[in-house]
Each structure stands twice: as C-alpha cells, then as structure tokens.
Amino acid sequence: MKISCLAIDDEPLAVKKIAGYIQKTPFLELVAQCRNPFEAMEILAKNDIQLLFIDINMPEMTGMEFVKSLTFKPYIVFTTAYSEYAVEGFEVNATDYLLKPVSYTSFLRAANKVKEMIELTAKRGSPVSIPATGHLFVKSEYKLLRIDLDDIKYIESMHEYIKIHLGSSNPVMTLLSLKSIEEQLPPTQFLRVHRSFIVNLSKITVVERNRIVFDGKIFIPVGEQYKTSFQSYIDRNFIV
C-alpha cells in the first residue's frame, strides 16, 4: 500500500521538485501539488491524505498556520529555507523538517521515517477489551478506563494513538491503531468514514457537503473509499 501525499509550496520550482521526489519513491503516491493552502483545503476535503510536504513561508496563510487549523492532521514534513522554524515545527508534531534546497537523500530519509511510523502503528497490539456488554475498557495514563459504546461520538486517529471523543466527558487517548479498534466495534453501530475517523452512527445528526457535522463546529470528511458504505447507511434510513 502506498502513502498518499500532498505537496504544498508557493514556489513553482520547489513544489515541482517535491512532487517529482514523491513520484520517484515507490511507496509514495502523489495525489496533488498545490501552490497555496487554499488549494490544499479542497484536496484534503475530497481525499484521504496521509502525508503533507508543506512549505512554511507562504503569503496569506503560512504552512504553520494551515497545519494548526486542521482538525485532522496527516503526517507533516515541513520544508523551508529558514532553520529558525524547526522548533515551532516540532511543536505541532511535525514528523520532520527539511531545509531548502531539499536533496532527495534528505527527502527519502523523512519519507522512510513516516513509513516506519505507519507500519509500526499498524502492527502494534492494543490494550483494549470489547465484550458484548455495551462498553469497552482502554488503557490510558496507566489506568484502565471503562467507556460506554453509546457515549462515543467518534474516534480519531492520532498517528500512534487514537482519541475517543465522548458525549459526557473529555476525550480519551490510548495507544491503539484505528484498524484494531474498528475490527472489534459492532458494525451495526460504528462505521469508518475516513482513513482517520470512525463515527457512532447513532450520534450523526447533520451531514453537510459530504461531511459529518458534530456540535455545529466539528467537520469530519467522508473519504472517497468510504463513500459507498456511508451512502448505503444514509439510503437505508432516508425518508422521502
């Protein structure tokens, strides 16, 4: 499986170079190249992007501002000509930081780092138990926490962790892959709608422009490969 990538840079030669590096790397897939964050927003809304190669210094909206604005954050590799941004880059959990002019050697090193993290997350086991009792137990901060399935609104992938968003309390973080918990959740109640999101079907109240809206301010995109199953759920419950 290839890692889906987006290259973002306002400099034509720079974005072309990164796009070329992506295309020549066997385990990467170039979905699009963008000249600004606004173009990238449209691509992210319609595609499941796993990795962003993004310049920091861009007019109107910087790469750092754009990444901070994202609800769902793919793996991030920043590119820039200014080394002083490195610390700030890692504060937003960037996987790596490449100084321009970017060589293919440094690019490949960053890409391999992301690949290893994705593979590790997929293989890692999980401290979770989901019996047929309507609740689950997860390990979080050295404690086992009971979570009622009916209280879950949605579950979000956070690279090596998942964040379980609840209706009655703050989210719970646990070291677990989204695929692992998806395999154990009841499929009649939970549906994966994006590479990074599973939703509790009973909590969906608003669907707008191919996005699920929670609390009027949280927008969860429905990924291209999950549209068919999601539309089937809508069709089964749609009243004309």
* Residues with Cβ within 8 Å of residue 231, at least 6 apart in sequence: none
Can you give the pLDDT at residue 138?
86
Query: What are residue 138's DSSP bridge partners?
Result: 128, 145
Residue 4 banded pLDDT, cuts 50, 70, 90: very high
Identify the bridge partners of residue 158 per DSSP, sorted by sequence position.
Answer: 161
| For range 83-102, the mean pLDDT | 70
Summarised one tens digit per residue, pLDDT across range 111-141 is: 998 888 777 655 554 445 444 457 888 888 7
* Integer CA distances (angstroms), 12 to 49, 55, 175, in order: 21, 12, 40
What's the pLDDT score for residue 131?
46
In this predicted structure, what is the pLDDT of residue 129?
Answer: 47
Q: What is the pLDDT of residue 175?
A: 87
Question: What residues contact 193, with CB distance under 8 A and at least 6 apart?
Answer: 199, 212, 220, 221, 222, 223, 226, 230
Q: The whole model's pTM is what?
A: 0.57
Residue 36 DSSP code: S
Q: Whole-angstrom Cα distance, residue 222 to residue 209?
A: 9
Would you state the structure tokens that stand for residue 38, as one six-digit string?
Answer: 């606004």
| Domains of the chain from N-terminus onward | 3-123 (3.40.50.2300), 128-236 (2.40.50.1020)
Most confident of 14-18, 54-58, 71-75, 209-213: 14-18
d(CA 92, CA 110) in angstroms, rounded, equals 16
* pLDDT tops 50 at residue 87: no
Q: Give start and end residues of each alpha helix (H) in the chain.
A: 12-24, 37-46, 63-69, 86-91, 104-123, 178-182, 227-236
Q: Which of 45, 86, 61 is nearest to 8 (CA)?
A: 61
Average pLDDT, the chain: 86
pLDDT tens figures, 168-222: 889 999 888 888 888 888 888 899 999 899 999 999 999 998 899 998 889 999 9
